[in-house]
């Protein structure tokens, strides 16, 4: 087996692992599981919410998430789709995500989060994330 195919296979394995983290974000939000959500972050992570609230560190992310997630979804559901992965280094990736909230009245709210993730001890973690709403028609 050539080095290129081993490298390509490792990259695909990392992409699948990154997709699993994004799926865990979706699962934790749909099931309103703040502890599961917070566990996906590095201890020193940065999170900016869709409304621009800046949170520094897992503890601040946890405090905020425990305030808003239980009951926050109401009758809505959310899906996350990885649109693009840019490997900045083999252990750091910028992940562009399409986020769609489906409300009980049939309307949808679209977001386009950016998750910068770092691989530590073989595990991909959310490191610096920005959630951004998409205005209608954009």
CB atoms within 10 A of CB 64: 16
| Residue 135 pLDDT > 90 | no
Q: Which two tokens stand for residue 123?
A: 């595990």
| Residue 99 pLDDT > 80 | yes
CA distance 123 to 131: 22
Q: Which fold has domain 3-130?
A: Nuclear Transport Factor 2; Chain: A, (3.10.450)
| Residue 4 pLDDT > 50 | no
* Domain spans of the chain, in order of start: 3-130
pTM to 2 decimals?
A: 0.88
Q: For residue 41, what pLDDT band results from cuts at 50, 70 and 90?
A: very high
What sign for the dihedral angle of Cα 29, 108, 51, 125?
Answer: positive
Contacts of 113 (CB under 8 A, 6+ apart): 80, 96, 97, 99, 129, 130, 131, 132
5-9, 89-93, 99-103, 107-111 — which is least confidently predicted?
A: 5-9
Q: For residue 1, what pLDDT band results from cuts at 50, 70 and 90?
A: very low
Q: Which two tokens stand for residue 121?
A: 């001890």
pLDDT tens digit string along 42-79? 999 999 998 899 999 999 999 999 999 888 888 889 99
CA 34-20-50 angle, to 5 degrees, is 50
């Amino acid at each position: 087996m050539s080095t290129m195919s081993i490298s390509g296979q490792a990259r695909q394995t990392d992409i699948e692992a990154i997709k699993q983290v994004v799926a865990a974000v979706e699962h934790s939000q749909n099931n309103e599981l703040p502890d599961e959500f917070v566990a996906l972050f590095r201890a020193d992570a940065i999170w900016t919410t869709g409304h621009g609230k800046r949170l520094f560190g897992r503890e601040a992310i946890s405090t905020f998430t425990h305030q808003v997630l239980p009951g926050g979804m109401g009758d809505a559901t959310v899906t996350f789709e990885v649109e693009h992965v840019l490997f900045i280094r083999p252990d750091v990736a910028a992940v562009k995500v399409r986020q769609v909230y489906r409300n009980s009245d049939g309307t949808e709210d679209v977001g386009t989060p950016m998750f910068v993730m770092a691989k530590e001890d073989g595990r991909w973690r959310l490191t610096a994330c920005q959630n951004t709403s998409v205005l209608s028609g954009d």
